[in-house]
Amino acid sequence: MTTMHLVPLLLLVTVSAVEVQRPRGVPLTKKHFYAEGTPFTCLDGSRTIPFDKVNDDYCDCQDASDEPGTPACPNGRFHCNNAGYRSFFIPSSRINDGICDCCDATDEYNSGATCQNTCKELGRQERESLYQLAEITREGFMIKQQLIKEAKKGLEAKKSKVSELGADKKLLEEKVEALRTVKETAEEPEKVAKERHLKAWEDQKAAVRTEKDNARMAEVFLELDDDGDGFVSVTELQSHTELDTDSDGSFTETEAQAILGGLDEADPAAFQAAWKDIKDKFISEAQAPLETPHSEAREPVSDNDSEHYSEVEIPEEEEEDDDLEEEEEDDDHDEADFNTPPAVQEKVDEDEGTMPPYDEETQTLIDAAQKAREEFDTAERALRELDDQMKNLEKETSSDFGPNAEFAYLYNQCYELPTSEYVYRLCPFSRVSQKPKYGGSETSLGTWGQWDGPEGNIYSVMKYDHGMGCWQGPNRSTMVKLKCGKETVVTSTSEPSRCEYLMEFTTPALCQDPKTLDHMLHTEL
Amino acid sequence: MAAFPERMASVLLLWLAVSLTATLAVDRANFKSCDQSAFCKRQRALKPGESPYRALLETMELTNTRLTLQLKNDKNKVRLLLELYRLQGNITRVKINELKPLKPRYEVPDVLIREPPTEPLSLLSQDENGVVLSLGVDSQRVIVSARPFRLDIMQGRDVLLSLNSRGLLAFEHLRLRKDTFFTLITSTFASVWDIVKSVLSRQADGEAEDASLANEEEAVVNEKDEEGMWEETYKSFTDSKPNGPTAIGLDFSFPGVEHVYGIPEHADTLRLKTTENGDPYRLYNLDVFQYELENQMALYGSVPVMLAHNAQRTTGIFWLNAAETWVDISSNTAGKTVFGKMLDYVQGSSETPQTDVRWISESGIIDVFIMLGPTPNDVFAQYASLTGTQAFPPLAALAYHQCRWNYNDQEDVQAVDAGFDEHDIPYDYIWLDIEHTDGKRYFTWDPNKFATPKEMLQSLMDKKRKMVTIVDPHIKVDSNYKIHNGLKSQGFYTKNKDGGDYEGWCWPGSAGYPDFSREDMRAWWASMFAYDQYEGSMENMHSWNDMNEPSVFNGPEVTMHKDAKHGDWEHRDLHNIYGLYVQKATAEGLIQRSGGVERPFVLTRAFFAGSQRYGAVWTGDNAAEWGHLKISIPMCLSMGLVGIAFCGADVGGFFKSPSSELLVRWYQTGAYQPFFRAHAHLDTSRREPWLFGPENTALIREAVRQRYTLLPYWYQQFYHTYRTGQPVMRPLWVEYTQDPATYALEDQFLIGRDLLVHPVTEEGARGVTAYLPGKEEVWFDVHTFQKHNGAQNLYIPVTMSSIPVFQRGGSIIPRKLRVRRSSTCMEHDPYTLMVALDPQGAAEGELYIDDGHTFNFEKKEFIHRKLSFANNILSSLNLSPEAQFSTSSSVERIVILGAKKPTKATLRTADGKSSQLEFDFDTATSVLTLRKPGMNAGTDWSVMLQ
């Protein structure tokens, strides 16, 4: 980049120094081919024509050399002197086309276009930007030297760190093995004790369940024994239609009898045999679904929760036959005995689910095993971290950070550029991504691929590929063009082709030795 | 920006859901076959046989301008009214409508440029079997046969064309639905009701003037309802058909004809194929995603015009109907091998070749223009007298166009513009596709990417270049959008069947579709192009109408529901003309914004008969495949035959990415086709001409430069087509009507009469074989000046730089060899005249010059000269002495191909002065180059060779 700008600068300065008469459009270097008054030979030697046919607006030479100052030849080149700026060639088709191309306006001599001579201004701007570029290059190159130094230091440090870590790793591995043994030894008695404790708890729970079931059976027996004669009769059983064996809607005597083991009535002992069959189906009248309550009964009900139970009781009292009132009392009584509605009862079951604390002996064993485990885990984690650290370091030290590792400082860094819609993020040697500014997930525009500059300047372009796939298209990829600059910064992003991104990035690491530049600036300007 | 895929994913997915596929081929399942289109199936089920129609000769009335008589269907008793006109210029018009339709049937407006002037018909003879009328020209007669009805056009003893000779006239009359009161009774007490009704109708008609006619009328017998007559479901779409069955059909026979052409748009051969073993050719403007080659499926546009040709005569049929239309073609010689045909000949088989054609349309009336030629140019003139000619484009529009979906932002536009200068490739227009808008709101700009459109346009103008922005007819439903609000508040949207504004899904999401069939709506649309309405627009910005079939992503067959309403008419009636109206309104807008001064340039994808009057057409979304490059030739040739001269295909192919070889070959082909634009899909890699290495850049540069050197010829050709209707890009048979070898040629073509182009369209080609026509003719290779005899197949070895092009001996072609950045930059440049002598040493040509962009040529501000070379004198004569224009262009060079070496060349100019010209003579090629004569191109002059 730098040198490309400098060569023409040299030219412009020399050319502007002298003004020599020659045919229009001829550069000084070719002046000697065009000798006034002598026949002109086309520069390709194809033919010789009288001199008055040079620039006579008719193309005689195949190579266009007879018409350097007119648009007559399709392949001609016109030389803009551009005194005060860079001289250059334009295609002769741009002569007198009404568009100003040469800053000295010499290309529009017969088109009616009014072109200003802007060469001085352009020259000034060019020199200014060259100075700036020189300045940037100089400072950038200084920074670069520092970067190289640091990179070298860093690299050595990292290499020694790797070998250092290698030694640590060996020790750590031994430690992990030792702790593993300790852990396993402690876990054995812990396991036995824990199992013992668990079994005791299971046994206890089973006992409680049996006891509860018996209590419920008694309650149900009492509920079913309407006449309180100590027997549950077939008729009494039939009042609970939910117990219908075949659920066909009619709970027959035979079915009821079958439940009672063929008996007409069952005493508590006989009932025990039937209980198994009916306990899952049985619905206590106290919890049976309510009939539509009377509206006047609802009226006083407020939203207040505390009054909710009264709503349940009121219709019952009013609806049921007098005969049943006693039973209701029984129900109340039963309820009082259990003192909790079934729903709450279940909760108690859950409460009972909490295993009692370990006995002291078991707890001691557990604590010991836990301690061994934690120590082992800590050691193992440390080993893993160490391993990762080593791998990262090895990867870093073996990466291509440029001829003098001047790009090493970019490793593990990220640089962002917000645009109107997105924030673009470049993490050199890692990835490029794009995140919508106003919400939405991040899109990968590629992961680090390789240096991809042209031959001889391979470190001028980074290529990131295999980003997120595009609909009906390729995976996203990003080309990062590097430029010399004092700052390390992403200067622009674009998507020239669908899902192929272009990013411009300045870094001092790309700044070339400014010696040549300095030399030229000082001697030529 | 990458936001596109995310933002558009839903739309695209929806589109995909409609097309059910992401593969790179059209999904035929999304588009109807004839069997899936109830009316086509019904009509096609009718087989040739005796027609139930008979002409009631006693009803015949012959006035000075027309003949009318009634036709009666003996089966259903429905009466039709036949009108027959003899039109000026050897055209016969046949109209058939119901005598008394329940309500009016749609007759296509706005296609004919005027009510065609008539000429008197005279009755030659009449008996109970029919009548014979004279057509005035060349003993041409029309014979109307009564029973069954048929119509024959004769010349001498030859039948040129017959109508209903196969008895396929079918006219579904309007009827009441069965479940209505009357028809319910009819079906229950059919016979009784018939009597009652006929009595009623007699009484009613008795009050009418024509009592005698009424007495003969019998009650109509309705055919049994068939499936699909009153409602039709295709995929998930139901077409309510409040008018019931309304289809029409008619057959035409061309005795002695084996070649028929036209009825675009189809991705098919130039010569139309017979359709007996497949679907008929379909004309129904559709947005077909990734269309297939070589088939009869409908595409974006429709021109219901067919040409029939044999060595003696060319005739044409113009079927003026804008509803969905199918065309069946059969031939008695199809399928016969050359040997079989020879056998017929040797054995004296009496069978004359014949081509039979059958047209079927879903609604409207039969309105046919029979263009009787007899030459192709006569047919072009006849069709032009009906529908007008190609709009004369601004000169720049004939130059090269650079397009892409999408140039991302102003910087991108600037960079591409600079790229052309850097690589010294000329271009005139850079195009912006839908992404330039603010959220697909046409007439707006994306505020971030195109923040200062006028600055952008000004910088293009500074380089004498222009821009095209897209304006599609689907309007985002958004109450903050001026265009939507304007349409909504004025009730300008097309309505759905229930009377609400029709809404469909397209690029912007939910969108309304302006009712372009309304003149007041079109006037309003046109006014939106005013510089103060279309903010950011400037005079170097022109327009492009895409998606105007109209494309509706969630509509049946990706278009509008047929039962949508345009006033009293259904969309069904006028579907195929919707796109024409969009382009018409847009072109009007561009004209109006300049106060009627500037010629507009508008590109359209959908088109119809008459679309040529409004601008250019391109072949839609093709693909970067060799087959698509090849098919671009027959597709544009077919359009040219039916008036649409300004045709082109996306150079490079729209979908997919071309290889560099394909891209170069496409540039080389496109440079010699009328509309020359590169375009590419959003998902493809960038393909500006310089992105394929210096060699390919040079090849593309050369192809584009060749186009620019020929712009004077292209311009003159467009002036010619504007005047005559003759296509610019022509099949060879149009000029070599007697030569059967030319009849099916579609890998080469003519530009005007004088340039023959045989593009290289084969991958890896080492050579092409071009057919050079004309027994007495010679052709000159335009690159080497080598002379070749006509009437031969010439093998031409090719390299990547070859574009085989030949200039006809006997022609003079003006060129401008100083290729500059844009055509406008070349305005004042001098001409080079390429004179190619015929074997008799003569040549002729024309030169047309005007300001290149205004309508002032209509006010006779132009130069039109005839250039002729005869008896060793080349002279320029004024073809339009009444016209006034001056040019600063001179003639810098005259190149005479096939010349003899003269001893001197004397120029005589208008002021009577003579001067001797210097010259070069190349004996090897017999090319004489006269150096720098320098006379003004617009004046009288002559050069004498001695």
Q: Is the pLDDT of residue A45 over 60?
A: yes
Q: Do the beta carbons of residue B493 and residue B487 sit within 8 Å?
A: yes
pLDDT above 60: residue B31: yes
B705 to A74: CB separation less than 8 angstroms, yes or no:
yes
Cα gap A207→A465, rounded to integer Å: 68
Backbone angles phi and psi of B697, in degrees to 5: -60, -45
Contact A93 B819 (CB under 8 A): yes
Average pLDDT (A201-216) is 87
CB B570 within 8 A of CB B562: yes
Pairing of strands B565-566, B569-570: antiparallel
Listed residue (A162, A166, A158) closest to A408, CA to CA: A158
Distance CA B925, CA B895 (A): 12
pLDDT of residue B342: 56
Which of B795 and A307 is assigned the larger pLDDT? B795
Contact (CB<8Å) B3/A422:
yes
Distances (CA, A) of B763 to A273, A340, B632, B658: 94, 91, 16, 12
CA B508/CA B359 separation, integer angstroms: 37
Residue B331: CA atoms inside 13 Å, Cβ hemisphere, count?
18
**Active site (annotated) includes residue B478:** no
Nearest to B538 by CA among B605, B484, B462, B486: B462
> Are the Cβ atoms of B820 and A97 closer than 8 angstroms?
yes
**Sequence-distant (≥ 6) Cβ neighbours of residue A4 within 8 angstroms:** none
- Residue pairs between chains A and B whose CB atoms are closer than 8 Å: 83
If you average pLDDT over residues B243-268, what whole number do you get?
97
Residue among A72, A440, A473 minimizing CB distance to B818: A72
DSSP of A318-373, one letter per residue? Answer: HHS-HHHHHHHHHHHHHHHHH-S-HHHHHHHHHHHHSPPPPPHHHHHHHHHHHHHH
What is the nearest CA distance from B8 to chain A, expressed in angstroms?
10
- Alpha-carbon distance B251 to A142, whole Å? 89
Q: How close B546 comes to chain A (CA, Å)?
A: 22
pLDDT of residue B464: 98
Q: Residue A472 and residue B3: Cβ atoms within 8 Å? A: no
Res A158: pLDDT: 86
Does pLDDT of B199 surpass 80? no
Read off the DSSP letter of residue B493. Answer: B
Measured at the alpha carbon of residue B880, what is the angle toward residues B874 and B883, in degrees to the nearest 5? 125
- In chain A, residues with a C-beta closer than 8 Å to the C-beta of B438 are none
pLDDT at residue B347, as a whole number: 59
Active-site residue B621, yes or no? Answer: yes
| Nearest Cα residue to B677 out of B648, B698, B702, B699 | B648
Residue B926 has pLDDT above 70, yes or no: yes
Given a contact cutoff of 8 angstroms between Cβ atoms, the answer to whether B619 and B649 are in contact is yes
Torsion of CA A132, A136, A138, A139, to 10 degrees: 130
Cα separation of B847 and B878, whole Å?
Answer: 10
Is the Cα torsion angle B482, B484, B488, B492 positive or negative in sign? positive
Give CA–CA dist B92/B408, Å, rounded. Answer: 53
Please tell me the predicted confidence (pLDDT) of residue A167: 87
B683, B827, B895, B930: best to mutate for the A interface, most A CBs within 10 A: B683
pLDDT of residue B202: 47
CA distance A291 to chain B (A): 50
Does A425 lie at the interface with B, CB-CB under 8 angstroms? no
pLDDT at B797 over 50: yes
Q: Is the pLDDT of residue B437 over 50?
A: yes
| Strands B927-931 and B891-897, bridge-based pairing | antiparallel
Q: What is the average pLDDT score of chain B? A: 92
* A322: CB partners within 8 A, 6+ apart: none
Listed in order, strand segments (DSSP E) in A150-274 are 232-233, 265-266
Q: How many CA atoms lie within 13 A of B404 on its CB side?
A: 22
pLDDT score recorded for residue B703: 98
Residues belonging to chain B with any Cβ–Cβ distance to chain A shorter than 8 Å: 1-6, 9, 12, 22, 408, 411-412, 424, 448, 462-464, 682-686, 705, 817-821, 825-826, 829, 892-893, 931-932
Task: Give residue-wise pLDDT tens across range A175-188.
Answer: 999 999 999 998 98
**Range B411-430 average pLDDT:** 97
- Mutation target to probe the A interface, by most A beta carbons within 10 A, among B16, B701, B825, B919 is B825
Tokens of B793: 């197949």
- What is the pTM (predicted TM-score) of this model? 0.82
Amino acid making up residue B528 = M
Q: Measuring CA to CA, how many Å separate B165 from each of B48, B84, B319, B357?
A: 9, 17, 17, 11
**Residue B789 token pair:** 């005899």
Give the angle subtended at the CA of B297 by the CAs of B295 and B299, to the nearest 5°. Answer: 115
B2 → closest Cβ in A99, A420, A499: A499
Question: Poorest-confidence range of A498-507, B356-365, B429-438, B668-677?
Answer: A498-507
Taking CB atoms and an 8 Å limit, are A501 and B2 in contact across chains?
yes
* Cα separation, B577 vs B610, whole angstroms: 9
CA dist., res. A154 & res. A147, Å (int): 10
Do the Cβ atoms of A58 and B3 come within 8 Å?
Answer: no
Residue among B546, B650, B754, B850 flagged as catalytic: B546
Closest in B2, B820, B829 to A443, CB measured? B2
Q: What is the mean pLDDT of residues B14-30?
A: 54
Averaged pLDDT, A150-155: 89
Lowest mean pLDDT among B213-217, B351-355, B644-648: B213-217
Would you say residue A344 has pLDDT above 80? Answer: no
Q: Is A262 exposed, middle or buried (0-12, 13-18, 19+ CB in 10 A)?
A: exposed
Residue A254: band (very low, low, confident or very high) from pLDDT cuts 50, 70, 90: confident
pLDDT at A442: 92
For B571, the 3-state DSSP assignment is helix
Higher pLDDT, B875 or A165: B875
What is the percent of chain B where pLDDT is above 70? 91
User: What is the value of ipTM here, to two decimals?
Assistant: 0.89
**CA of B33, closest CA in chain A: separation in Å?**
28
Q: A473: which chain B residues are within 8 Å (Cβ-Cβ)?
A: 5, 683
Residue A201 has pLDDT above 90, yes or no: no
CA of B104, closest CA in chain A: separation in Å? 49
Task: Sort out which chain B residues have CB atoms less than 8 A from A98's CB and list them.
Answer: 464, 825
